[in-house]
Structure 1
């Protein structure tokens, strides 16, 4: 039987503006993380908090906030918040035999999530510090792989509730039957699954997809949705139209990060159709909260033998009249 929803109001005591500020974080960022962890909504008015959601989880969130408030003599970092959430989860499990279900992915250590080139390092920094990040450049520069790595790491830390990976390449199949659609779409989305399998394995990928914590789909199926507390990655963005790009960007909701990757030299659109990625670069440069990272051939990372093969073909092509 489902636990009923509940609206719970609490007043943090004793009244202290500094404690309240330390607890809530800049722009109530800590409250947003707590919302994500407990799957509740928290509204604040001064020292009064209104918590809405599942009754049991609302009560746990209220208890957590009241206990954390007393400890907030200093500003609370995300690491402090995460550690306290883990400790509460352990206490809950010991007393009730149940715990708030954690994500089944171990967070990556900071050293394992890094770039091999200066542009890759800057890209990861942009993803960390911006709501929307564009990665533009040639293939094999790590644009998609690093974006999905960051998404997996963010989900593992309970900073988001789900990962959504999309590509526009399957759009032309949208009028087929469901069975025909699955047969056409699956190969076009396979590169996204390949990265997930490499990062967390086949079994965890399958399990998280079944639980809808990871969603892999054509871009078309984001239309009409508002995506809160998610990490969204769009690959092959050079093959969006301006309308599709605008639709994607306006799906971003509360607590959501988005990364858009593409190569403007590999546009596969009908003649005369403008790329949404090209237009986005023109329209959005300088907009607050967005970042652009440009990759070049110097950022290509692959096996040495592959590099030698590419160079050999390039040399052959230059010598052939």
Structure 2
């Protein structure tokens, strides 16, 4: 019996609480849904504040009505994934909870989510922000992905690039980053120019190697089908029938950003990713990413996805770290604002007394 078709045996309401019992037809799949020592079930319980009890092939859910509904949708969706042959990990449970959370938009059934298909398998979104971003990558010629670390901005862009290369929709992939000296000077690093800049490009190599076999990456790079290079190497070129990704774009200057955006040629897709809270430019230098958003956002054919800390899909602690920094930044802004208000008030009182 499929969990998505008919698995709700009983429902009851008591005040604001609710109780639902689900039944699943395949005990082997149910065991995978529960996880070792019921760890998946415990994860859902802790995240939603509901109580889950499994007896035989049934799972009883009790708690706040809204959270019970979220748990029901989440468990049904995960069971459907198991029916289609997918395996479940702890990160899959976390992703399903985010996608079905209260207020999550778009809130789609797990079976209806977009996917990027590479020869290493299908990649599905793990947060509402990723869902919209993946749809935008499929539709728009130029996409900006803005948000904190760990939201999958670059990883999904590389996945889309690899998928389009493997299906012949583009002839080559170009991955670029500005080589900004974030606390360490390039000139003091050992080796030739390539060896000096490769550490800055390492995340792009890592993403590529996740999408295709290492020997294929090496072969395609040798053939010129994949190019990983600092942003400075883009000057004077026109990129045609390519998928170009500019990563860490917050560390470009306005002139560098304009240079990159105007490299676009026929049949080319471009993705620009960055985090405006992680700018490493010298004081007083405007971020090219911020300048570009103020200039081209709203232009036809350009899509912009803004991720939040709720879209962080790395270790859960990363999301809490991002939130802590955001809270501190907000508190500091409040202190500055209160100080300015107090200063203006004193100036006003001084003027009145005169």
What is the alpha-carbon distance in structure 2 between the residues aligned to residue 282 and residue 312 of structure 1?
25
Number of residue equivalences: 209
Q: In the TM superposition, what is the alpha-carbon distance from 1:162 to its structure 2 partner? A: 0.2
Q: In the TM superposition, what is the alpha-carbon distance from 1:108 to its structure 2 partner? A: 2.4
Change (3 A) 1:149 1:307: same
The residue aligned with 1:276 is 288
CA offsets 1:112-142 (integer angstroms, 9 cap, x no match): 2321111111111111111100000000000
Q: Does 1:137 align with 2:147?
A: yes
Contact 1:170 1:218 in 2 (8 A): no
The match for 1:196 among 208, 230, 249 is 208
Contact 1:242 1:274 in 2 (8 A): yes
When Rg is computed on C-alpha atoms for both structures, the one with the higher figure is 2
Larger relative contact order, structure 1 or 2 (CA cutoff 8 Å, min sep 6): 1
Contact 1:226 1:252 in 2 (8 A): yes
The residue aligned with 1:152 is 162
Q: In the TM superposition, what is the alpha-carbon distance from 1:170 to its structure 2 partner? A: 5.2
Q: Does 1:292 align with 2:310?
A: no
Contact 2:312 2:318 in 1 (8 A): no
The match for 1:232 among 232, 235, 244 is 244
What is the alpha-carbon distance in structure 2 between the residues aligned to residue 255 and residue 119 of structure 1?
26
Gaps of 5+ in 1: 1-105
Q: Does 1:259 align with 2:259?
A: no
Contact 1:169 1:236 in 2 (8 A): no
CA offsets 1:288-311 (integer angstroms, 9 cap, x no match): 00010000000000235x459859
The residue aligned with 2:256 is 244
Contact 1:236 1:262 in 2 (8 A): yes
The residue aligned with 1:103 is none
Q: Does 1:124 align with 2:134?
A: yes
Q: In the TM superposition, what is the alpha-carbon distance from 1:178 to its structure 2 partner? A: 11
The residue aligned with 1:113 is 123
What is the alpha-carbon distance in structure 1 between the residues aligned to residue 143 and residue 198 of structure 2?
26
What is the alpha-carbon distance in structure 2 between the residues aligned to residue 254 and residue 269 of structure 1?
32
Contact 1:171 1:220 in 2 (8 A): no
Q: In the TM superposition, what is the alpha-carbon distance from 1:180 to its structure 2 partner? A: 2.4
CA offsets 1:261-282 (integer angstroms, 9 cap, x no match): 0000000101110000001111
Instruction: Look up the SS of the partner of 1:207 in the other structure.
Output: helix
Q: Does 1:211 align with 2:208?
A: no
Contact 1:133 1:258 in 2 (8 A): yes
Contact 2:143 2:303 in 1 (8 A): yes
Instruction: Return structure 1 stretches of 4+ with deviation > 3 angstroms.
Output: 170-179, 306-314
Q: RMSD of the alignment, in Å? A: 3.0
Contact 1:170 1:185 in 2 (8 A): no
Instruction: Look up the SS of the partner of 1:293 in the other structure.
Output: strand
The match for 1:163 among 173, 189, 198 is 173
Contact 1:148 1:195 in 2 (8 A): yes
